[in-house]
Amino acid sequence: MRSIFAGVDEVGRGALAGPVVASIVSFSSHIYIKGIADSKSLTPKKRELLFLEIIKKAEIGIGIVNERVIDEINILQASLRAMEQAFIDITRKRRISYLFVDGPIRPNVSCPSIQIVKGDERNIYIAAASIVAKVIRDRIMLIYDRFFPHYGFREHKGYPTKSHLRILERSGPCIIHRYSYKPVRERMR
């Protein structure tokens, strides 16, 4: 039986609002998707195009942990939980032999995992997972922007930009902010 590889990455660890999202991507070795790279190095338009191609040609698993859980268990544990949820999701469709993980963290999964520092730059499976996770999280933040338009989630996606910090200073946090994060705590009213 041939080995089936997959890569996992998460996005949203440094954000002040919204969930952390993990994605696992697995595709056959004969599949080639031109342009896959670390999601941070791609334009939003290029990420969207690659996302559509990846979800057509690969199996994916998604894990999402919201801001309340992040506040309860911390971002590292929430990131691991999201990765583990993504692994459970993908194994409903495909058995994974080896999981490539971005960074030094080790999710609790039922197959060997290989940790790769800067894996989203060095491993095609992790890079594909970073694209899927980023597009999904960005879409979630666009939905939140409709409910909380004055926070500017459409632009900064919850990350601690100067404009986001100014809005927090003026208005305080909303219900999707991570209250355990110092920049949010300092601006609570």
Alpha-carbon distance values, 40 to 9, 71, 120, 128 (Å): 12, 25, 9, 12
Q: Tens of pLDDT along 50-82?
A: 999 999 999 999 999 999 999 999 999 999 999
Q: Looking at residues 96-101, what average pLDDT do you find?
A: 97
Provide the pLDDT confidence category of residue 32 given band limits of 50, 70 and 90: confident
Q: Which two tokens stand for residue 94?
A: 């495909």
CATH topology of domain 5-148: Nucleotidyltransferase; domain 5 (3.30.420)
Provide the pLDDT confidence category of residue 94 given band limits of 50, 70 and 90: very high
pLDDT at 85: 98
pLDDT at 37: 84
pLDDT at 189: 65
Q: Tens of pLDDT along 162-184?
A: 999 999 999 999 999 999 999 99
| CA–CA separation, 164 and 182 (whole Å) | 14
Is it the case that residue 1 has pLDDT exceeding 80? Answer: no
Report domain extents, the chain. 5-148
Do 37 and 127 touch, CB atoms closer than 8 A?
yes
Sign of CA dihedral 31, 108, 61, 179: negative
